Amino acid sequence: MIFSTVYAVTRHLLSLPALLLRRNVSKEAELLVLRHQNTVLRRQVPRVRYEPADRLWLAALSHLIPRHRWGKVFPIAPATLLAWHRKLVANKWDYGNRRRPGRSPTAAEVKALILRMAAENPRWGHRCIHGELTRLGHKIAAATVWNILNRPGIDPAPRRSGPTWKQFLTAQAERIAAVDFLHVDTVNLKRLYALIMLEHGSRRAHLLGVTANLTGPWIAQAARNFLIDTDTDTTKLKFLIRDRGGQFTDAFDAVFADAGLRVIKSPPQAPKANADCERIIGTLRRDLLDRMLILNERHLRRTLTRYLEHYNTARPHRGIGQLSPSQAETGPPTPNDLADHRVHRRSILGGLINEYQIAS
């Protein structure tokens, strides 16, 4: 009953404008119906998806309606309508098809080469690397090299300073030898000392002597015996690195000075200054001495001699391309297809270490 009354009142109220303005009554009524349909759709559909043609039609009609009425007429927000219009204008004046292509990005291989040059040449700045790339025939801007170096945190213009110990040892490796002591405790807890020498360039290791009484005269005599008995060409060596231990006396330095070697003392408590020799001592412990018991001085001498023979002739070294020192001197072996050959194993030091050879 109440609904019928409200409906009747509403109908009579709407009929009043029709009596006054009958000329556009039907058109206005149609618009009211469409608006009310939009209101109903908004309540039922949370988000209406419009096709590009719909957006074009609504944006074009917006010019015919005052802006303050957009919120009542259009089923979208005014900001959305303006955004559609801006997009239409941008598409109209888009000259992307006629635009020239920009500068192509730097190839990943060139970036890797620039970073590699910076790592291999710490004293090179971006200008030196740019010059090297130009010499190789690659056209690139110096600013691009700067950006490539600066992005991972590499200084494009490094300070010019002296070489580090690592750089010095690498540059002079062919002419450097180093000595250091290795101590071993026997089964009955007696301490023995072995004097080890390593040639940096060839990675050859030598045993100068083993003793239980480490004294200055013994060390000097061990150096003389090595220079007399060894087949090593000491004329290729120029420097001998040793630490500042009190066992190294002036007599020891004089033995190598007479052979043409300059003795260099490493800084106090700086094992990196004699890093290669420290590394072979660590290798001896990991591969050999930590895995067996030493009985006496004779046993240690025999064990070290046999292992160093393996170290010089059969053990691969990363510093010389995974070759053994003897292979590095004579040249790499002839490539073989191991599927066509039999590989034999030879055990040394009681099976502690294995060597592999192609069967003849």
Cβ atoms 198, 280 nearer than 8 A: yes
**Residue 110 buriedness (CB in 10 A; 0-12 / 13-18 / 19+):** middle
β-pairing verdict for 205-211 and 176-185: unpaired
pLDDT for the residue 275: 85
How many C-beta atoms lie closer than 10 Å to residue 61's C-beta? Answer: 12
**Chain centre distance of CA 149:** 14
Sheet holding 176-185, edge to edge: 205-211, 191-199, 176-185, 239-242, 262-265
pLDDT for the residue 191: 92
Distance CA 249, CA 304 (A): 25
Contacts of 236 by beta carbon, 8 Å cutoff, 6+ apart: 174, 175, 201
Show pLDDT as tens, one digit a residue, over the chain (360 residues): 554 454 455 545 555 555 455 456 666 666 666 676 676 666 666 666 767 666 666 666 666 677 677 666 666 666 766 776 677 777 776 666 666 666 678 888 888 988 888 888 877 888 888 888 887 888 888 888 888 888 888 877 766 556 666 666 677 777 888 999 999 999 988 999 999 999 988 889 999 999 999 998 999 999 999 888 877 777 788 889 998 888 888 999 999 999 888 998 888 888 888 888 899 999 999 989 888 889 999 999 999 999 999 999 888 888 777 888 888 888 777 777 767 778 888 888 888 888 888 776
